[in-house]
Structure 1
Amino acid sequence: MSLLFKHLRVHQIFGANTDVGKTILTTALVRASTALRNEVFYLKPISTGSPQDADDEHIKQFASPKVHTECLYRFHVPVSPHLAAQMAAGDESQKIVSDKTFVDSVISYVNRSASATRGPAHMYVETAGGVHSPALSGTTQVDCYRPLFLPTILIGDSRLGGISATISAYESLLLRGYMVDSVLLFRDEYYRNSEYLTPYFAERGIDVAAFAHPPPVSPDPRENLAITDEYYKSLDMGSVQRVLTERHQQRIDQLDSMPRRSMDAFWWPFVQHGLVKNEKDVTVIDSASNDFFSIYSQSSQDSLLSPQLDSSASWWTQTLGHSHPSLTLAAARAAGRYGHVMFPQATHEPALKLAERLLHHGPGRNWASRVFFSDDGSTGMEVALKMALRAYSVRMGLQGIDRKNLGVLGLKGSYHGDTIGAMDACAEEGVYTCEWHNAKGFWFDPPTISIQTGVPVISLPSVLAKAAAPSDTCAPSDSIAWVYDMPARLETRLAQSYRTYISQTLDSLEQSGGPRLAALVLEPLVMGAGGMLFVDPLFQRVLIDVVRSRDSAPESKTDWRGLPVIFDEVFVGLYRLGAESTIPILGVNPDISVHAKILTGGLVPLAVTMASDSIFQAFVSQDKATALLHGHSYTAHAVGCEVANETLKLIEKESQSAAWNEAKDKWGNSAAWSLWDPEFIRALSSLDKVSEVMTLGTVLAVKMKDAKGGYVSHSAQTLLQDLKNSKVGAKNTYPPFSVHYRTLGNVAYFMTSLNTSPETIRALEEKIWTALQSDSADEERRNRHI
């Protein structure tokens, strides 16, 4: 949680190294603040060593007695904080303070201090050692403190090697997004580091101030007190104080102006600008960390910044939370080594490593032979369509105009992106359309899965519902595992009904001269943008089986059959639904699949389209015109590939985590499980306002009862308005947070990162429950407001 107050200017003090003078220069800052008649707070979150030598004691001794000083965690052993914490905990490592507990204690102190004064006031939060010195848990300070996102003063190193140490410390801060407002250091007449660092940082808009070294310590305590006090009197911090105050005000002014400037400059995606009435309708995101945005509010009486849970995982991209340091460093590593390099008929290590990992140890293992790189999910699907249509045309010997009139087979409600070709692979009646959209193909109305009053239910389209028995569509228990047990369900009466219906429909299309179908295109298990529709996996499996069985050629283990099958796993793949791929759940391989979003952890765009060898061979000849003439300027860009490699490494580890294993246990350790609590899901599905609920992995979809329904409905947005109030639900959560959520008409969906803590998910569940329990009068009030 980042903090920003109008009346309280807060700065965090980092050092480029140990023994660079953090406490001396911080004391000078504190004295200068008191000279300006400001109330001053000094916080030393962690202190190790003798209490009489502690930094907060030095502040008390040489600054005004009116300065408020505090130390949150004090250890008497003069070692690194993580060692001191381990020694204090003994053999019981669980007693070591977690990063969240530690950061929350800092937040609590800052908030209490801000409430105790109406300013103007200054606060200084002094860290221990260098930027990468460990905090209590062993996490380095630069990462541990990052959620606070406090403006920073860097104390440079004036000693031999100090130029390098200071710049390295600055770059470590910069890589994590910190705002460095000033660099302070001692002036050394021999090494003269400040002379080099002043223009270096000036080019980056940062002021450097150098000061005389403190005098040698006198063995006489009284004399030492006197000469040290005289030293502090000689230091002029006036210009530094002006810079810090100006930066503080500039930040507030910038945030204040952003809503209006944004309304005048942006054309937002998926936003009806006619409904954006005023500046309060604009969410100003100052920073983001873990699962939370830090959002700005002009009218706040407390901190101008407050945490807001990113409960749509920023359009389904977030994997390990925002600003994950490992992903940031991976991006920097590749940018520093390559920048961007041309890819056709070339290779580089990040791209090759990623391709081989996806093919041999990822979702492409045992079926895919090639990886094609593109920019994002929509362009990845364009590539997949080109691959499939060409493979079909070559197999069928089509030429000329026959190749131009091909269509696809799919499901109503599907969505494959906003580029024109991807839109053409979806039904016409969807809302994602434009003047050039020309739907090409046929789309089945699919059966869907949901939990209704605690029980998994299959909702059939009318054409199938007529002949169905209740036992066909209602789970024999309250477990969703039954729905995803393909071997068992393939032998059921409903499976045969699906086969008959699909076969008869395809026969009718052929006899009536309908579109020539050249590919089967599916969003496996969940159709996201179409309304978070959880499709009956049995229907999709039977559809694939029927399509492939309608091929008179001899069966081959390597060639595609019937139609090339495309899995659009942009949304559902790479553990979004709790499994690396939907392939094991459906029990069948595609011929082409597309991955994006989670692939790069939500940091940079990148997509991959994987294809089997029989698809690839359709493009191989001695004629360049038959090649896949498709590409992007940033194809296989090294930054994206390196970030993807790091992401895949981290999510593989996360998939074996204790939190995941505990969640799986709650759901019976089946292939169908969720990070959301099963008891909460059952209770939610029984609320009067809720029509149905469904969950898998990180995803929760809640469909509200609404006679109108559909994408243009406001019912979900209206019923959940209270989520924007941080005080609603989760009373014991600290710090309290609001929720940023997205809706698809009368469907609200919520999505976690793969590593969202169980505590955060439980708090969100409580907030959702509380919001939907509001009485009818509140509901009417919100409806009038909307």
Structure 2
Amino acid sequence: MGLLFKNLRIHQVFGANTDVGKTIITTALVRASATRDTPVFYLKPVSTGAPEDADDEHIHRHGGPRRLVTTRCLHRFSDPVSPHLAAARAHQAKVAEIPSDSTFTKTIANYIQECAGTSAAAHMYIETAGGVHSPTLSGTSQVDTYRPLFLPTILVGDSKLGGISTTISAYESLLLRGYIIDAVLLFGDEYYRNWEYLTPFFSERGVHISVVPPPPPRAADVQTNTAITDDYYTSVIPSDHRGPLSSLFEHLEHSHTRRLQELISMPKRALSSIWWPFVQHSHISPSDVTVIDSAYQDFFSTHKPATTSSSTTSQLKPEFDGSASWWTQAIGHAHPSLTLAAASASGRYGHVLFPQAIHSPALKLAEWLVHEGPGKGWASRAFFSDNGSTGMEVALKMALRKFTRTLPSNTQKNNKRIGVIGLKGNYHGDTIGAMDACEEGVYSSEWHDAKGFWFESPEIGIRDSLIQIDLPPAIAAAIGSNRIEAPSLSWIYDVAERLNTPLADVYRRHLRAALDKLHQDGRQFAALVLEPLLMGAGGMIFVDPLFQRILVDVVRETSVDGAQTSVIFDEVFVGLYRLGLQTTAPTLGVKPDISVHAKILTGGLVPLSITLASEQIFKSFLGSTKAEALLHGHSYTAHPIGCEVANQTIQIVEKLSQSEEWKIAREQWKPLNALEANIWSFWDPNFVNAISALSTVDSVMTLGSVLALKLDDAGGYVSHAAHDIFKTLKVNTEDEKSMTGAPGGLAYSVNFRTLGNVAYFMTSLNTPADTIRSLEDKIWDTLKTIPATR
């Protein structure tokens, strides 16, 4: 993942098509390095065809002194066909196994690291096969297979008829996947003269382009051909370094040096111009800044000067994105399908005005959300906004209008003080209105004016493999205990079965009494605002779903002056399979009036939020004047790029939900579920139970992709306990466990965030099982070294 060395300049050579002269040009590059008395490594990962015609053999003959030039081929097939077909035939003949993409890139990464450790200063060229989209051994397009390595690229253009189009198309395919394209090279064919068009095209885009004299026709006699070929390379790469590729060579050297210098300079430059959210800048120095050079799948490729001083080790290290980039990632970073969806919508629309207009991506998304997705069976409309916080602001406006429309006119004088009902620890975003819908806390601003009442809720946790419900004092007093044990995790989430239990009666009496008193005191509430099942930013609090269900029931059956309190589900974090569920409503057994969706909605690529509303909510804004309409929006409402990316994300995630990988994950939780409930996690239940027994862990809980560990520390949200305990995970260690599951088999660290005494870890919805297992090992190894506290 993102290999970059001080001592080893690496360039990967792609071709715009097959038979464009990749090997001829790569040989010239190898020879140019060798004439400077620099050791050169040439790698051909896959070769098909006769061994005597193999590209690495050509390099071996013409690349320069053998004391300087080392050639290697990793996978060789004599069948002169596409690599995927050659591999399939070899597999069918039981001659060779077909390696997975991860195994393939791991082999390449290992060889690169081996080369980097053998010389003080060297160059390396890795030549791909065919065109950029030619399949690799597994059948995956090689432009995607090689992407985890993220190597600087040279594109060999097509100098033949039609080559202008294939060269530009290849360039754009590489660009769409984020490749650094240091140069474009092609032959100076005097008949088609493609270079005349392509030179200004690439120069205007800041891409270096070099035109190489075409090679002489191949001679029939082997010895003659060898001689004229060698003469050709001598003319292209003269010993005085003044040939047609001299400027290219200097450019490649400069590009390598500039990239290293850029990475080194970024922390200091960032500290002088960036104001980060949720960061106390007085505690930050350049060594604390993580430079993210690229990201792919579940990993960042990071540069940390303090740990990358050796010239023979990669200056970039993989780092697992342990918070799913603030909970946005659904299918990993830089997913090519999402990139192409964004590019397609950008090319077709850019951004277009939305009020009283419609475009296909927005309509398709709205129809799925309302009729097939989380709004199925209750929602009638989808309102677009730009992020979860503003989506919640919209939801609050909807609820307030609905409430005031049903209030008698003589009670509307206090509309400015109408409040909301919620739970302690809830969080709905950092805009002023969303903050005012939460209790006073660390996120509040000086303008904070909490407009509501917040109940303390029962919390779910696992301790010593036992599933327990921690009760708040008021409920504990009625029960006679502050903690009760649950027979199974599925029992906890079988809300319909639990509605007639004694605990449900206690919850019901407690909530009714509290709401009756609030109403007697003249309090009015337009909305019940919930983060269903799991409250995120407040501390990863897994709330007893029975308590939330009864709270909804009690609020709906209690009205003051006939006014209707709306139920808002904030599913920005928990929705769309983050917890293994498309939506939380079926688990609670009750439907909201309004719900909000974001984050996973667009796979972590672009901001977009949807507020779903029932028909009754929608009708509250119908009237004869514009002032009665929902006057809320932003300039990029329903931007086509976000909508198209969301459509693509939904398609991928829905397919994942039916995948064999998810089935296996669900199956491992079945022994712990006495009932057939859709309650499961990607995290291994044996691992969860094991860490729940550690003395340093107060409790642990997991659903879907989320793992939350509450540490035995009384400091709460302002505590540094979780950060201090897990800070060693940020160190990249070359141990066997850390090298399992990372791209290219590289050792990796973990980027994580904490909430006081709570540490949480999050996967994508397609994180490979072996990556999760290796992460579990790292967490376990960290926790078991901490001295016992109880």
For residues 497 and 296 of structure 1, the distance between their equivalents in structure 2, rounded to whole angstroms, comes to 54
* AA at the equivalent of 1:599: L
Select the residue among 410, 416, 436 that pairs with 1:404: 416
Superposed CA deviations along residues 55-81 of structure 1, whole A, max 9, x for unmatched, are 001100112213111111111111111
Q: By how many angstroms is 1:775 displaced?
A: 4.7
| Distance change in 2, residues 1:674/1:372 (3 Å) | same
Q: By how many angstroms is 1:217 displaced?
A: 1.2
Give the structure 2 partner of residue 782 of structure 1.
Answer: none
Q: By how many angstroms is 1:201 displaced?
A: 0.6
* AA at the equivalent of 1:589: K
Q: By how many angstroms is 1:403 displaced?
A: 2.0
Indicate if the aligned counterparts of 1:742 and 1:748 stay in contact, CA closer than 8 A.
yes
Indicate if the aligned counterparts of 1:472 and 1:494 stay in contact, CA closer than 8 A.
no
Q: How many residues are paired up?
A: 765
Q: Secondary structure in 2 aligned to 1:100?
A: helix
Q: By how many angstroms is 1:622 displaced?
A: 1.3
Deviation larger for 544-553 or 192-201: 544-553
Indicate if the aligned counterparts of 2:476 and 2:483 stay in contact, CA closer than 8 A.
no
| Counterpart check, 1:291 vs 2:292 | no
Q: By how many angstroms is 1:512 displaced?
A: 2.4
* AA at the equivalent of 1:22: K
Select the residue among 247, 258, 282 that pairs with 2:266: 258
Q: Secondary structure in 1 aligned to 2:117?
A: helix
| Distance change in 2, residues 1:470/1:662 (3 Å) | farther
Alignment of 1:407-426 (within 5 A): 407-426=419-438
Q: Secondary structure in 1 aligned to 2:331?
A: coil
* AA at the equivalent of 1:523: E
Alignment of 1:361-380 (within 5 A): 361-380=372-391
Give the structure 2 partner of residue 535 of structure 1.
Answer: 543
Give the structure 1 partner of residue 109 of structure 2.
Answer: 107
For residues 709 and 96 of structure 2, the distance between their equivalents in structure 1, rounded to whole angstroms, comes to 37
Superposed CA deviations along residues 508-567 of structure 1, whole A, max 9, x for unmatched, are 111223x3111100000000000000000000000001111124999xxxxxx8410000
| Counterpart check, 1:700 vs 2:700 | no
Q: By how many angstroms is 1:256 displaced?
A: 0.8
Q: By how many angstroms is 1:86 displaced?
A: 1.2
For residues 317 and 491 of structure 1, the distance between their equivalents in structure 2, rounded to whole angstroms, comes to 37
Give the structure 2 partner of residue 176 of structure 1.
Answer: 177
Indicate if the aligned counterparts of 1:729 and 1:767 stay in contact, CA closer than 8 A.
no
Give the structure 1 partner of residue 476 of structure 2.
Answer: 465
Give the structure 1 partner of residue 673 of structure 2.
Answer: none
Deviation larger for 603-612 or 51-60: 51-60
For residues 571 and 232 of structure 1, the distance between their equivalents in structure 2, rounded to whole angstroms, comes to 60
Q: By how many angstroms is 1:441 displaced?
A: 0.8
For residues 330 and 319 of structure 2, the distance between their equivalents in structure 1, rounded to whole angstroms, comes to 17
Q: Secondary structure in 2 aligned to 1:68?
A: strand
Q: Secondary structure in 2 aligned to 1:215?
A: coil
Give the structure 1 partner of residue 527 of structure 2.
Answer: 519
For residues 338 and 766 of structure 2, the distance between their equivalents in structure 1, rounded to whole angstroms, comes to 14
* AA at the equivalent of 1:57: E
For residues 258 and 94 of structure 1, the distance between their equivalents in structure 2, rounded to whole angstroms, comes to 46
Superposed CA deviations along residues 574-614 of structure 1, whole A, max 9, x for unmatched, are 00000000011111100000000000000000000000000
Give the structure 2 partner of residue 558 of structure 1.
Answer: none
Q: Secondary structure in 2 aligned to 1:442?
A: strand
| Counterpart check, 1:674 vs 2:681 | yes
Structure 1: give runs of 5+ residues left out of the alignment.
555-560, 780-786
For residues 439 and 590 of structure 2, the distance between their equivalents in structure 1, rounded to whole angstroms, comes to 25
* AA at the equivalent of 2:344: R
Select the residue among 550, 553, 556 that pairs with 2:558: 550
Alignment of 1:373-522 (within 5 A): 373-398=384-409, 401-428=413-440, 430-468=441-479, 473-476=484-487, 479-513=488-522, 515-522=523-530
| Distance change in 2, residues 1:218/1:715 (3 Å) | same
| Counterpart check, 1:282 vs 2:289 | yes
Give the structure 2 partner of residue 213 of structure 1.
Answer: 214
Q: Secondary structure in 2 aligned to 1:295?
A: strand
Indicate if the aligned counterparts of 1:547 and 1:562 stay in contact, CA closer than 8 A.
no
| Distance change in 2, residues 1:309/1:93 (3 Å) | farther
* AA at the equivalent of 2:506: S
| Counterpart check, 1:770 vs 2:778 | no
Alignment of 1:35-54 (within 5 A): 35-54=35-54
Q: Secondary structure in 2 aligned to 1:417?
A: coil
For residues 775 and 550 of structure 1, the distance between their equivalents in structure 2, rounded to whole angstroms, comes to 50
TM, length-normalised to structure 1: 0.95
Structure 2: give runs of 5+ residues left out of the alignment.
237-242, 671-675
For residues 76 and 469 of structure 1, the distance between their equivalents in structure 2, rounded to whole angstroms, comes to 78
Indicate if the aligned counterparts of 1:86 and 1:93 stay in contact, CA closer than 8 A.
no
Give the structure 1 partner of residue 347 of structure 2.
Answer: 336
Indicate if the aligned counterparts of 2:468 and 2:483 stay in contact, CA closer than 8 A.
no
Indicate if the aligned counterparts of 2:14 and 2:128 stay in contact, CA closer than 8 A.
yes
Superposed CA deviations along residues 383-413 of structure 1, whole A, max 9, x for unmatched, are 0000000001001145764321110000000
For residues 420 and 298 of structure 1, the distance between their equivalents in structure 2, rounded to whole angstroms, comes to 39
For residues 195 and 506 of structure 1, the distance between their equivalents in structure 2, rounded to whole angstroms, comes to 78
Select the residue among 689, 695, 702 that pairs with 1:688: 695
| Distance change in 2, residues 1:60/1:93 (3 Å) | closer
Indicate if the aligned counterparts of 1:594 and 1:610 stay in contact, CA closer than 8 A.
yes
For residues 497 and 118 of structure 1, the distance between their equivalents in structure 2, rounded to whole angstroms, comes to 73
Superposed CA deviations along residues 127-165 of structure 1, whole A, max 9, x for unmatched, are 000000001111101111111110000000000111111
Superposed CA deviations along residues 173-206 of structure 1, whole A, max 9, x for unmatched, are 0001001101110001111111111111111111
Q: By how many angstroms is 1:2 displaced?
A: 0.7
For residues 130 and 281 of structure 2, the distance between their equivalents in structure 1, rounded to whole angstroms, comes to 50
Deviation larger for 235-244 or 322-331: 235-244
Identity %: 60
Indicate if the aligned counterparts of 1:592 and 1:609 stay in contact, CA closer than 8 A.
yes
For residues 21 and 104 of structure 1, the distance between their equivalents in structure 2, rounded to whole angstroms, comes to 27
Q: Could you say what the CA RMSD is over the residues aligned between the two structures, in angstroms?
A: 1.7
For residues 706 and 550 of structure 1, the distance between their equivalents in structure 2, rounded to whole angstroms, comes to 39
Deviation larger for 19-28 or 297-306: 297-306
* AA at the equivalent of 1:252: L
TM, length-normalised to structure 2: 0.95
For residues 97 and 24 of structure 2, the distance between their equivalents in structure 1, rounded to whole angstroms, comes to 33
Give the structure 2 partner of residue 651 of structure 1.
Answer: 653
Give the structure 2 partner of residue 228 of structure 1.
Answer: 229
For residues 76 and 477 of structure 2, the distance between their equivalents in structure 1, rounded to whole angstroms, comes to 72
Superposed CA deviations along residues 746-782 of structure 1, whole A, max 9, x for unmatched, are 10000000000000000000000011122549x9xxx
Give the structure 1 partner of residue 240 of structure 2.
Answer: none
For residues 490 and 716 of structure 1, the distance between their equivalents in structure 2, rounded to whole angstroms, comes to 36
Superposed CA deviations along residues 79-117 of structure 1, whole A, max 9, x for unmatched, are 111111111111889942111111111100000100111
| Counterpart check, 1:713 vs 2:719 | yes
Q: By how many angstroms is 1:297 displaced?
A: 2.5
Q: Secondary structure in 1 aligned to 2:206?
A: coil
For residues 729 and 388 of structure 1, the distance between their equivalents in structure 2, rounded to whole angstroms, comes to 54
Give the structure 2 partner of residue 157 of structure 1.
Answer: 158
For residues 446 and 626 of structure 2, the distance between their equivalents in structure 1, rounded to whole angstroms, comes to 33
Give the structure 1 partner of residue 747 of structure 2.
Answer: 736
For residues 634 and 773 of structure 2, the distance between their equivalents in structure 1, rounded to whole angstroms, comes to 42
Give the structure 2 partner of residue 346 of structure 1.
Answer: 357
For residues 670 and 83 of structure 1, the distance between their equivalents in structure 2, rounded to whole angstroms, comes to 44
| Distance change in 2, residues 1:729/1:539 (3 Å) | farther
Give the structure 1 partner of residue 278 of structure 2.
Answer: 270
For residues 594 and 334 of structure 2, the distance between their equivalents in structure 1, rounded to whole angstroms, comes to 32
Q: Secondary structure in 2 aligned to 1:166?
A: helix
Q: By how many angstroms is 1:722 displaced?
A: 1.4
